[in-house]
Structure 1
Amino acid sequence: MFEIAKQRLGEVFKHIEVDEEVINRLSVPKRSIKASIPVRMDDGSLQIFTGYRVQYDDTRGPTKGGIRYHPRVNLDEVTSLSFWMTVKCAVAGLPFGGAKGGITVNPKELSQLEIERLSRGYIRAFADVLGETRDIPAPDMYTNATIMGWMADEYSVIARRQIPGIITGKPLHLNGSEGRTQATGQGALFCLSEYARRQGWDIQNTTIAVQGFGNAGYHFARLAQQAGYRVIAVSDSKGAVCTASGLNIDDIKQFKDETSELNSVYCDGSVCNVIEHETLTNEELLEMDVDVLVLAAMENQITQENADKIRAKTLLEIANGPISPQADEILQAKGTQVIPDVLANSGGVTVSYFEWVQNRSGFYWDADEVERRLDKIMRREANVIYDLAIRYQTSLRTAAYIHGIDRLAGAIDQRGNHKLFKKPI
């Protein structure tokens, strides 16, 4: 997976010239750590879990990146994600490098108390390499504000003082930021809306299908519906629902929270009535004829095996790496536009940056201020990337990487390179 992630750079270097030292620096992570995390289970047994933290590059600032809990977490995956975070922070213009962490675990098999002990154990295992000016974790797949709160508390126990800036994505009462929960979906919507404005779309008649109904996918779908888009299908790991006239996203979320199932419903308080809809598989949702297909689930959802079947005119990547490089080529040849993950899902890390700034200053913003600042950054960087794609006659993904790598290359060069050792003529 890491080698696939690095394939994105080949196309970038066809358009911009960077020093060989930049390529060398960005080809490997700065630090990769693997640790065993012992956890006392509820039945009294001891189970050992494997945790990872990869700090890819810190040229532009302390590293930043989430912690995910998933059975498929491994060093290769975490390294790839830390690489993407490095580029993403540069694309957003944040003073951060990239990192990522994770634990190989199925959190659905653990009790709340076991997850808490596991989360605190992760911090004990990696406390020596974390810090508010060194490496700042955040939520990722199957982690949330509650888990970040436990982790921040455990770090304060180790440090023997309160350091709220050590972790972002915390609960509000533990110095979290307004707007952080919906930030990834909100940022993605800002990117899409700016693209729609430039393309002259009629928002009311723009249809959207969303693969993935987790935190990011749900908030994107909810906010897109509020903005006037017609969200006609959503899916989770078990399947999808579709209604041509448009779904009621909040009702679906309420029903799923109560039953763990997706259904197109109208809810009045605690009573939900099923309305006419179709049920689809995840694969069928990907192949729907919609204006925008939103990928908010997992990596490698569109590959060379199914890229030809994709009928959506525009793809929006909220998940990390949902389209393989080979599929990218097929989609580009078909004229399908992809708004890439390193731009589209950077709203989460941007509001994490806001939280870090607020934690360190001790001055907190209201939700409107957070949204205003996020809107400004997302639209600014999106327009730079859309303009670069036109200038270089390349895909939006390559344009985003050109933008991010150019910033990284500048920072690496300005720290000093081999040119300093050449004698003046």
Structure 2
Amino acid sequence: MTALSYVSDDADSAWATYLAQVERVLPYLGDLTRWADTLRHPKRALIVDIPLEMDDGSVRHFEGYRVQHNLSRGPGKGGVRFHPDVTLEEVMALSAWMTIKSAALNLPFGGAKGGVRVDPRELSVKELERLTRRYTSEIGNIIGPQQDIPAPDVGTNAQVMAWMMDTYSMNVGATTTGVVTGKPVHLGGSLGRVKATGRGVFVTGMAAAARIGLDVATSRVAVQGLGNVGSISAELFYQQGARIVAIQDHSGSLYREEGIDIPALLAWQREHGSIAGFTQAESIRDRDFWLKAFDILIPAALEGQITVERARALNCRLVLEGANGPTLPAADDILRQRQITVVPDVICNAGGVTVSYFEWVQDFSSFFWSEEEINQRLDCIMKDALSAVWNKAESLSVTLRTAAYAVACERILMARKDRGLYP
């Protein structure tokens, strides 16, 4: 294995976590291991400088990235993250997980990801627009409907995608709706896209719960992260009758054994920007969130949240990874030893990329589906993918994560093998 010179030695970094996950699947890939280094090396990594004129007339510089990890099975696909802690290594890992995710769902995409190291909450709307447009122009030579298709991620939304689409379209001289997904519906976006990732967590969670004999309607659920994914997941499980007993976001943690009123909490969050101050549940210490008893945990925040210490303390039966890379490899081993089932991120949170695929297809054909059709197609793909991975896990006697990587890596490396090397 060749080390990458620009990668840190942090054993808990997102990139190190991804590499460890790849290592675990190699014994199950047979002759395809000859091509395994393909998985360890991003195809392309672009670092860009983004000079931005602020509203007060000053000029600040921000660093942006776009990484295309693997394009063997199709154009790159992956979100754009605006966050103050974005790094090249993180974006590399996220792009690699997109490669695995697309292949595990058998979507005709490779993996990519982008990011800008910025706190979007500190920018005005006009500053955010100027930042987005300059970033899009800087990466414009490597994105496109048949090259690499960005989408929303942490700190970005449909408006940011509209600015990206418009900027790219202006630069190529034609309206090109398919260059991004997650756009507003009236600009070629897809119905169901906003709720897709959270819905995917719910669909795979229901299927996994049935597999392990857990009645969701009487279960207790904890959700870490109440952004798009966490809020939709919480809402759907709440509607199914589950008690959402614990919630954590950037502002703190809440607990109520009888169950938190999710519609009331989400209304509070929309009004105040966080869960802080919500009086219909007990405020607890963040570390105590991980010590409470529940049946289902949904980590839907950032990567690296389930550490060894937290894995040892968890009192639940099922983990649904709404975030990318929330479980460290050593913690994964502990969860397996404790017989806690983990539905891995590359399956569990793949609803977003699945409906992004639907949006991409609809943009090409200029023919759009109803939300009911979208949800039916999404549910079918998610259930089929989980079933295939579960069966693989049972046949190999491995975790669902290793099984998902076995399914995905076989597809990726088979494509690499059959395409060959050029020149």
TM-score class, shorter: over 0.9
**Alpha-carbon distance in 2 for matches of 1:261, 1:131:** 36
- How do 1:363-402 residues align onto structure 2 when only pairs under 5 Å count? 363-402=367-406
Counterpart pick for 1:103 among 116, 120, 131: 116
State whether residues 120 and 155 of structure 2, in contact with CA within 8 Å, keep that contact through their aligned partners in structure 1: yes
**Alpha-carbon distance in 2 for matches of 1:306, 1:223:** 26
**Percent identical residues:** 42
Q: Report the counterpart of residue 317 of structure 1 in structure 2.
A: 321
Q: Report the counterpart of residue 136 of structure 2 in structure 1.
A: 123
In the TM superposition, residue 3 of structure 1 has moved relative to its aligned partner by: 2.5
State whether residues 67 and 140 of structure 1, in contact with CA within 8 Å, keep that contact through their aligned partners in structure 2: yes
Structure 1: runs of 5+ lacking an equivalent = 266-273, 419-425
Q: Which residue identity lines up with residue 32 of structure 2 in the other structure?
A: D
Matched, 1:221 2:234: yes
In the TM superposition, residue 417 of structure 1 has moved relative to its aligned partner by: 6.8
Per-residue deviation, residues 216-265 of structure 1 (Å, max 9, x unmatched)? 10011111111222212211111121222222212111111112231696
**Alpha-carbon distance in 1 for matches of 2:21, 2:221:** 27
- Partner of 1:131: helix, strand, or coil? coil
**Alpha-carbon distance in 2 for matches of 1:86, 1:45:** 39
In the TM superposition, residue 328 of structure 1 has moved relative to its aligned partner by: 0.9
Matched, 1:346 2:350: yes
**Alpha-carbon distance in 2 for matches of 1:280, 1:312:** 19
- Partner of 2:140: helix, strand, or coil? helix
Q: Report the counterpart of residue 326 of structure 1 in structure 2.
A: 330
**Alpha-carbon distance in 2 for matches of 1:257, 1:74:** 29
* Structure 1 residues 115 and 307: CA distance shift in structure 2, 3 A: same
Q: Report the counterpart of residue 268 of structure 1 in structure 2.
A: none
- Partner of 1:13: helix, strand, or coil? helix
Q: Which residue identity lines up with residue 125 of structure 1 in the other structure?
A: E
Q: Which residue identity lines up with residue 89 of structure 2 in the other structure?
A: D
State whether residues 32 and 414 of structure 2, in contact with CA within 8 Å, keep that contact through their aligned partners in structure 1: no
- Partner of 2:30: helix, strand, or coil? coil
- Partner of 2:141: helix, strand, or coil? helix
- Shifted more, 164-173 versus 326-335: the winner is 326-335
Q: Report the counterpart of residue 158 of structure 1 in structure 2.
A: 171
**Alpha-carbon distance in 1 for matches of 2:347, 2:287:** 25
Q: Report the counterpart of residue 43 of structure 2 in structure 1.
A: 30
Counterpart pick for 1:252 among 249, 265, 270: 265
Q: Report the counterpart of residue 341 of structure 2 in structure 1.
A: 337
Q: Which residue identity lines up with residue 75 of structure 1 in the other structure?
A: L
In the TM superposition, residue 27 of structure 1 has moved relative to its aligned partner by: 1.4
**Alpha-carbon distance in 2 for matches of 1:74, 1:179:** 30
- Partner of 2:193: helix, strand, or coil? coil
Q: Report the counterpart of residue 422 of structure 1 in structure 2.
A: none
Counterpart pick for 1:114 among 96, 110, 127: 127
Q: Report the counterpart of residue 286 of structure 2 in structure 1.
A: 282
State whether residues 65 and 98 of structure 1, in contact with CA within 8 Å, keep that contact through their aligned partners in structure 2: yes
Scaled by the length of structure 1, the TM-score of the pair is 0.93
Structure 2: runs of 5+ lacking an equivalent = 1-12
Q: Which residue identity lines up with residue 286 of structure 2 in the other structure?
A: N
State whether residues 250 and 274 of structure 2, in contact with CA within 8 Å, keep that contact through their aligned partners in structure 1: no
Per-residue deviation, residues 141-177 of structure 1 (Å, max 9, x unmatched)? 1101111111111111111111100000001111110
Q: Which residue identity lines up with residue 94 of structure 1 in the other structure?
A: L
Q: Report the counterpart of residue 104 of structure 2 in structure 1.
A: 91
State whether residues 242 and 264 of structure 1, in contact with CA within 8 Å, keep that contact through their aligned partners in structure 2: no
After TM superposition, which residue ranges in structure 1, 4 or more long, deviate above 4 angstroms?
none
Give the root-mean-square deviation of aligned CA atoms: 1.5
Q: Which residue identity lines up with residue 57 of structure 1 in the other structure?
A: N
Per-residue deviation, residues 351-387 of structure 1 (Å, max 9, x unmatched)? 0000000001000011101000000000000011111
* Structure 1 residues 104 and 417: CA distance shift in structure 2, 3 A: closer
- Partner of 2:292: helix, strand, or coil? coil
**Alpha-carbon distance in 1 for matches of 2:57, 2:164:** 23
Counterpart pick for 1:262 among 275, 281, 286: 275
Matched residue count:
409
State whether residues 336 and 399 of structure 2, in contact with CA within 8 Å, keep that contact through their aligned partners in structure 1: yes
Q: Report the counterpart of residue 271 of structure 1 in structure 2.
A: none
**Alpha-carbon distance in 1 for matches of 2:161, 2:31:** 38
Q: Report the counterpart of residue 9 of structure 2 in structure 1.
A: none
Q: Report the counterpart of residue 269 of structure 1 in structure 2.
A: none
- How do 1:5-20 residues align onto structure 2 when only pairs under 5 Å count? 5-20=18-33
- Partner of 1:67: helix, strand, or coil? strand
In the TM superposition, residue 405 of structure 1 has moved relative to its aligned partner by: 0.7
**Alpha-carbon distance in 2 for matches of 1:207, 1:22:** 44
Per-residue deviation, residues 78-114 of structure 1 (Å, max 9, x unmatched)? 1011111100000111000000000011111111111
Counterpart pick for 1:74 among 61, 84, 87: 87
Scaled by the length of structure 2, the TM-score of the pair is 0.94
Counterpart pick for 1:134 among 147, 153, 162: 147
**Alpha-carbon distance in 2 for matches of 1:331, 1:203:** 20
Q: Report the counterpart of residue 6 of structure 2 in structure 1.
A: none
* Structure 1 residues 244 and 9: CA distance shift in structure 2, 3 A: same
Q: Which residue identity lines up with residue 283 of structure 2 in the other structure?
A: T
